[in-house]
Amino acid sequence: MDASPPRGTGMPGADREFDRSRAVVVTGIGAVGPLGWSVESLWEGLIAGRTAVGPFDRFDHTGHRTHVAAQVDLAAEPRRARGKPRRISNADRFAVAAARSAVARAAIDPRDRRERAGVFFGSSTGGMFESEAYLAALLAPAPGHRRPPAASLLASQQNNGPGDAVARDLGVGGPVQSVSAACASGAIAIGEAVNAIRRGEVEVAIAGGSDSLCRLTYAGFNALRAVDERPCRPFRGDRAGLSLGEGAAVLVLESRARAEARGARPLAVAAGEAATCDAHHMTSPQPEGSGAAAAIRAALADARVDPEAIDFVNAHGTGTPLNDAAECAALMAVFGDRTADLPVTSTKSLVGHLLGSAGALEAVATILCLLHGEVHPMPDDGRSDANLPLRLVLGRPLRLARARHALSTSLGFGGANAALVFTRVLDQDHAR
Amino acid sequence: MRADPVITGLGTIGPGGQGRAALARALALGKPAVTEVDRAGGAHRESGARLAALVRERDLSRFIAPAAGRRMSFPSRLAVAAGRMALEEAGLGAADTGGARTGVYLSTTFGPGLFTELLLRAVFLEGAAAAQPFHFSECVANAPAAQLAIAVGARGPSLMLTQREAGPILAVARAAQAVREGRVDRALAGAVEEITPLLHALLDRFGALAGPGDGRVEMPRPFDRRRDGFLAGEGATVVVIEREEAARARGARAQARIGWSGAAFDPTATVSDWGDGHAALAGSLAAGLREVPGGARGIGAVVSGASGARRGDRLEAHVLRAVWSGDPLPPLLVPKAVTGEYGGGILGPALLALEGASFGPTPGFAEIDPEVEVAPHRGAASPAPERVLLTGLASGGGAAWLVLERTA
């Protein structure tokens, strides 16, 4: 067994263009989710510890064993964010709105040097929700209704839909890459974007993920008995599964040098990234969390940040018994005795599991926590688990005014693991 | 010695059979191996396309134990079999691929279609309780990549790129970058696709497929004036990528060196078709080829992603003509006319082209389209090229290119 972790960085001299020392910063963030259509509404909900998981009406779920999810209020979509209504899926709409918000915050126009801007996007189901309507009409037509449904419902079915929609909307002309690695998709897409900037492939990367609620995932996770009948309770002793959510999140990434040259104030440094695979099982995590631990170690090494320097963790934290246990084991393997004192939160406890965009939304949440000097809480619901000795942020925010480095983890089906390290930009960094 | 990574193994399973010899035979013949698609499901149009390039040799037991195969979807089995075939050719075993220094970078357009359909069909027709957990775990798009990683113990990055027709090239390019940049020591990269009767019917309803209209023979006609769509094809192609010095140190034959790669996007494209942005795409490709020894003139053959798609082939032709402006185009090989669209039908033929394999005349091509003014390969023998350019322009706007070079 090869115990050496993968290097998350390039070997010096291996590629004349790949520059590990090229600092990559976040200059824009955007988010659409069950807490609203803006970063502000996301933060308000997160810091209040207000869960968006509850009854939902996106589709008929009467035959399922569970009846909760965290859905986006489609009627609340700001007029300025609306995409072309035809042939655009919910996932595309979320992605476009989040991307527009992120580039506006970054004060960039990707069209300015469009061939030097790229899109790196994760999705696990793309426009599946709309495709289901087509398939339902095709496979089980209503009595007397034999006319084939409009094929336009299928136009954006594939997982490249959200990333392509963003690229078209923003007029991007550089590389566009859609990643599907289940629940790690969004985080891996951000990692790919970081490396694209390091190698000089793009000057600006619009990176994130988008997924929408759909019957496929709701039925599938229910069939696996992986959905809690109540809002999910990550890492709690009575946790009984995840809660599904939907939405999109986007980061605008560029080199620190470029941001400084144009006078932009970075929100955070995207300091480290890494991805690994458990190579263990399609749906069950490796019980000791070895694959996740390898990803965390590699991301820390990539960021040149010691484990002791991490101030808090935005955990994958789904609320499923096996996943939370494996993730806790991974954190203990990396952080050792310090794990018990390391603040851990799970954004999924408030917005549900956004699947292919979870890693992206949690990256935004992590950056917001660094910016505000506060770690958002999880609902203080359920009982503690003696087997998971974590310092969970429960009930109210944890003030960490001096927090500098934070870790965000994403662990997906097929054993796909990703870890991202974000570093707060201090005032003296700006003064340099 | 150059730092560029090399390809040391090829595994390919397609409509022509299993392995590189079967692929070479199909390409030399210059005739697509088509199968009549099962239309009993009732989703097809009466007048629509009837043929697809399906995998007919479905016994993969040489690569996957039956018990293990039963726990996988067909695309997962294809990916595992093609991956193991590639490793076998590269002379690598489980001891080499186990561990965190091997990554898996595959691509797909539609993901495991049959299992997705089965799960949704159960929900729609029998109710939510009929959904099978096994179907769900295998209907995530990255399942084939994950199953390949599990099968060979690869614990580096494992991801599925989903960029439609640009995906296979992008997957190889990203894997090569990961090797070049030292993030992994070796990678398994490629593409996998499954064409189900329902997917075939839907592609046809979308107007994407070559049809039998007006009494014509149903076949793709890349670059031809009468082209009306592509031939849907399934299969898997996986290559082994590693650093050249590592390959040489263990005595492995480097089949090709991975040179320049690039990607771009055409924002004039619609969600389901190709755009008109050939000038910008040509600018990106031309800029990239300036990094290639000899520039565009150093390209000995283009292994084109053209497929017979009306607007896709036009865009491809306009991009190539703009890049080679004033110069004759290199020989234009169009393997998807034989292998069908999807399943990485472009990767294996590119390696074979570098080795001087014979390519038969491009099937379906008879008449130059005055709108594109490009003629694909007509079967004439030509020396093995020093360097080939692979092209992949995707509906929706994606684009990817890759240069493969012959090694000494």
pLDDT band at A11 (very low <50, low <70, confident <90, very high): very low
What fold is seen in the domain B5-249? Peroxisomal Thiolase; Chain A, domain 1 (3.40.47)
Q: Would you call A220 and B131 a contact, using CB atoms and an 8 Å cutoff?
A: yes
Q: How far apart are CA A326 and CA B123, in angstroms?
A: 31
Structure tokens at A359: 């890693």
Contact A99, A249 (CB under 8 A): no
Contact list in A for residue B119 (CB cut-off 8 A) is 216, 219-220, 223
Interface test with chain B among A176, A211, A276, by most B beta carbons within 10 Å: A176
Computed over every residue of chain A, the mean pLDDT equals 92
- Scanning B127-270, the segments in alpha helix (DSSP H) are 133-137, 143-152, 167-180, 197-205, 244-249
Give residue A2's pLDDT.
36
Tell me the angle at which helices B347-354 and B167-180 cross, rounded to the nearest 10 degrees: 70
Neighbours of B218 (CB within 10 A): 18
Q: Which DSSP helix (H) or strand (E) runs through B261? A: strand B256-265
Beta partners for A405?
A310, A423
Interface test with chain A among B114, B148, B162, by most A beta carbons within 10 Å: B162
A361 to chain B nearest CA, in Å? 19
For residue B171, give the nearest of B239, B271, B255 by alpha carbon. Answer: B239
User: By CB neighbour count within 10 A (0-12 exposed, 13-18 middle, 19+ buried), where does B274 fall?
Assistant: buried
* b/e map A373-390, b = 16+ CB within 10 Å: ebbbbbbebbeebeebeb
pLDDT above 70 for A97: yes
Q: How far apart are CA B227 and CA B221, in angstroms?
A: 5
Cα B95 to Cα B48, B92, B341, distances in angstroms: 49, 8, 35
Contact list in B for residue A126 (CB cut-off 8 A) is 162
Give residue B354's pLDDT.
97
Q: Would you call B272 and A199 a contact, using CB atoms and an 8 Å cutoff?
A: no
CATH class of B260-405: alpha beta
Q: How far apart are CA A310 and CA A293, in angstroms?
A: 14
Structure tokens at B119: 């799960």
Q: Would you call A294 and B100 a contact, using CB atoms and an 8 Å cutoff?
A: yes
User: Chain A residue closest to B97 (CA)?
Assistant: A2
Contact B210, B228 (CB under 8 A): yes
* b/e map A192-212, b = 16+ CB within 10 Å: bbbbbbbbebbbbbbbbbbbb
Q: How far apart are CA A177 and CA B403, in angstroms?
A: 19
End-to-end CA distance of chain A: 46
Q: How far apart are CA B41 and CA A137, in angstroms?
A: 14
Q: Would you call B264 and A173 a contact, using CB atoms and an 8 Å cutoff?
A: yes
**What value does the CA radius of gyration of chain A take, rounded to a whole number of Å?**
20
Dump pLDDT digits (tens) for B214-232: 778 899 999 999 999 999 9
Contact list in A for residue B43 (CB cut-off 8 A) is 138
Distance, C-alpha B228 to centroid of its chain: 20
Q: Would you call A181 and B123 a contact, using CB atoms and an 8 Å cutoff?
A: no
Contact list in B for residue A161 (CB cut-off 8 A) is 271, 396
Q: How far apart are CA A329 and CA A416, in angstroms?
A: 16
For residue B137, give the nearest of B162, B112, B157, B163 by alpha carbon. Answer: B112
Q: What is the pLDDT along chain B (408 residues), one digit of tens a residue?
A: 457 899 999 999 999 999 999 999 999 999 999 999 999 988 899 999 999 999 999 999 999 999 999 999 999 999 999 999 999 999 998 788 888 999 999 999 999 999 999 999 999 999 998 999 999 999 999 999 999 999 999 999 999 999 999 999 999 999 999 999 999 999 999 999 999 999 999 999 989 999 997 778 899 999 999 999 999 999 999 999 999 999 999 999 999 999 999 999 999 999 999 999 999 999 999 999 999 999 999 999 999 999 999 999 999 999 999 999 989 999 999 999 999 999 888 999 999 999 999 999 999 999 999 999 999 999 998 899 999 999 999 999 999 999 999 997
pLDDT above 60 for A348: yes
User: What architecture (CATH level 2) is domain A24-425?
Assistant: 3-Layer(aba) Sandwich (3.40)
Report the pLDDT averaged over residues A290-301.
98
Dump pLDDT digits (tens) for B310-343: 999 999 999 999 999 989 999 999 999 999 999 8
Q: Which of B116, B150, B181 sits opposite A279 (nearest CB)?
A: B150
Q: Which of A62, A88, A223 sits opposite B133 (nearest CB)?
A: A223
Q: How far apart are CA A213 and CA A393, in angstroms?
A: 27
Contact list in A for residue B159 (CB cut-off 8 A) is 179-181, 185, 188, 275, 416
Q: Would you call A276 and B280 a contact, using CB atoms and an 8 Å cutoff?
A: no
Structure tokens at A304: 């040149």
Report the pLDDT averaged over residues A189-204.
97
What letter does residue A398 receive in the DSSP assignment?
E
Q: How far apart are CA B208 and CA B229, in angstroms?
A: 5
Beta partners for A227?
A242
User: Chain A residue closest to B1 (CA)?
Assistant: A14
Q: Which of B43, B110, B182 sits opposite A14 (nearest CB)?
A: B182
Give residue B1's pLDDT.
45
Contact A289, A260 (CB under 8 A): no
Contact list in A for residue B162 (CB cut-off 8 A) is 123, 126, 158-160, 178-180
Contact list in B for residue A139 (CB cut-off 8 A) is 120-121, 124-125
Cα angle vertex B149, ends B145, B155, to 5°? Answer: 125
Dump pLDDT digits (tens) for A212-264: 999 999 999 999 999 999 999 999 999 999 999 999 999 999 999 999 999 99
Interface test with chain A among B105, B271, B291, by most A beta carbons within 10 Å: B271
Q: Would you call B162 and A179 a contact, using CB atoms and an 8 Å cutoff?
A: yes
Cα A251 to Cα A111, A124, B38, B263, B266, distances in angstroms: 17, 18, 45, 20, 22
Q: Would you call B271 and A414 a contact, using CB atoms and an 8 Å cutoff?
A: no
User: Which has more confidence, B217 or A376?
Assistant: A376
User: Chain B residue closest to A113 (CA)?
Assistant: B280
Structure tokens at A368: 């917001």
For residue A105, give the nearest of A350, A418, A368, A300 by alpha carbon. Answer: A368
Beta partners for B261?
B402
Q: Which of A115, A158, A280 sits opposite B164 (nearest CB)?
A: A158
Query: Any idea where the domains of chain B sit in the sequence?
Result: 5-249, 260-405
Q: Would you call B136 and A221 a contact, using CB atoms and an 8 Å cutoff?
A: yes
Give residue A347's pLDDT.
98
For residue B55, give the nearest of B192, B251, B243 by alpha carbon. Answer: B192
Catalytic residues of A: 183, 316, 353
Q: Which of B150, B157, B397 sits opposite A168 (nearest CB)?
A: B397
**ipTM of the prediction:** 0.97
Determine what percent of chain A is predicted with pLDDT higher than 70: 92
User: Which has more confidence, A150 or A127?
Assistant: A127
